[in-house]
Chain A
């Protein structure tokens, strides 16, 4: 490892290409923290946006008109507004309305920090799309298959969980894949409320080192690799879920 670090230090000295997080421990830790924050934020949002999608799609099939209206209202709101504005709305509008709690040093701090607000905001943002994606998959499940389950005595919830959802999932995986890739890319917006994710930490580093070009190239590649890993994971999952002789 030391040799690699040395190599990048020499690279900087000889050519002026400055990648301090590859030879300077302090910057390296900042970058690693940023990477892990991005991964953590992505995973949390992936998880909750799928949960929102699954529950929202279930509620959209409800027989209560107002439940369905509420869900479509939610979808409209989050689809038709910019995610950055949503993020600001949660952080600055709702965040300041919530009561504050006493922190470890006896001061006052908000209940949710910037990471939590980014997670909430982005989960709702991607969740709105996921509801529609799951809904379309559910509509693709033949009514006759559902009827067979009804005739066997399955309850509505059992049908949704055991029949409709697993079948819908397979249909929508490509669309879901797309939306989740978008979600990971959108996590960079959390920069705007100072969540220490990759873009934010890169910014810190280029402010200290005046190496904007190098950091931009690195960021681009880092996201390229990160999203690439997600996509190949999703593709593998898609293949694993494939049913012999179906679709």
Chain B
């Protein structure tokens, strides 16, 4: 049975994850369809980062199933390269390669990992840098860029691999308030282009605007979820209500 776009692009079923004794995920299930933008919110330490890091196998899981385009991730024999070609990731701390320029950062993975032709990759990379509105910064090193600019390079770097889905882990949390907007705008552009996005975020206004579906996690379980309108107006669970009252 092969995967079609009628099936969820990412599908988690009863995922359990612990670090030694510490149980971090206690049976998480969620489905993401192609083109969906989902936001995961929840208190600090509730396992949001762990959850999305399991999707591209940066963390392994003890129990349950994670399917990415029908391919099981929770399998020791999984081809991580194939998986990571499909799943991009953007981190809170940008994690650019500090010894490479913005352009080189974007070009590196397609050239090294996908073994694509350098001239073509450069063309694509320049277009991506333009797309994240960083024209003119091609030859700047990460240390010469602001946090927001670095994060947009990181987004371009991820896009250069032409992933089918991108994971965003609190990508604006380390930014100055003035630069948050430019990064969110970049993500919004992507979402409008139909990119499948899984976001962990504390930006509620943004989540409400771009998300197709919101998931609220606490202590390793999904407490409540729904489309933004119902989620924000009619939260049922007391934990959700308390969290929203603190953050809004």
Contacts and interface: CB of A to CB of B under 8 A. Distances in A.
Contacts of A166: 99
Nearest to A144: B95
Contacts of A162: 108, 112
Nearest to A246: B143
B91 A144 contact: yes
Contacts of B154: 148
A147 B53 CA distance: 10
B232 interface: no
B142 A153 contact: no
Given A145-B98, A167-B98, A150 B161 contact: no
B89 interface: yes
Given A147-B58, A162-B108, A245-B144, A152 B113 contact: yes
Contacts of A151: 56, 58, 84, 87-89, 91
B81 interface: yes
Contacts of A170: 99
A142 B109 CA distance: 19
A158 B113 contact: yes
Interface string A105-118: 00000000000000
B46 interface: no
Interface string B138-167: 001111110000000010011001000000
Interface string A149-181: 111111100100011001100100000000000
A151 to B, nearest CB: 4
B98 A243 contact: yes
B208 to A, nearest CB: 28
Contacts of A163: 97
Contact of B161 (A142, A153, A246): A153
Contacts of B98: 145, 167, 243, 246
A244 B112 contact: no
Contacts of B99: 166-167, 170, 243, 246
Contacts of B26: none
Given A155-B81, A162-B112, A245 B142 contact: yes
B97 A154 contact: no
B58 A243 contact: no
Interface string B105-137: 000110011100000000000000000000000
Interface residues of B, number: 31
B63 to A, nearest CB: 23
A145 B144 CA distance: 17
A152 B99 CA distance: 17
Contact of B112 (A145, A150, A158, A245): A158
Contacts of A158: 112-113
Nearest to A145: B95
A158 B108 CA distance: 11
B188 interface: no
A152 B157 contact: yes
A158 B99 CA distance: 15
A148 B95 contact: yes
Nearest to A244: B141
A149 B157 CA distance: 11
Interface in B42-93: 56, 58, 80-81, 84-85, 87-89, 91, 93
A159 to B, nearest CB: 10
A134 to B, nearest CB: 16
21 contacts: A145-B95, A148-B89, A148-B96, A149-B97, A150-B58, A151-B87, A151-B88, A152-B84, A153-B113, A153-B161, A154-B109, A154-B112, A154-B113, A158-B112, A158-B113, A162-B112, A166-B99, A243-B141, A244-B144, A245-B144, A246-B98
Interface of A: 142, 144-145, 147-155, 158, 162-163, 166-167, 170, 243-246
Given A145-B98, A148-B154, A154-B112, 7 more contacts: A148-B97, A158-B113, A162-B112, A166-B99, A245-B145, A246-B98, A246-B99
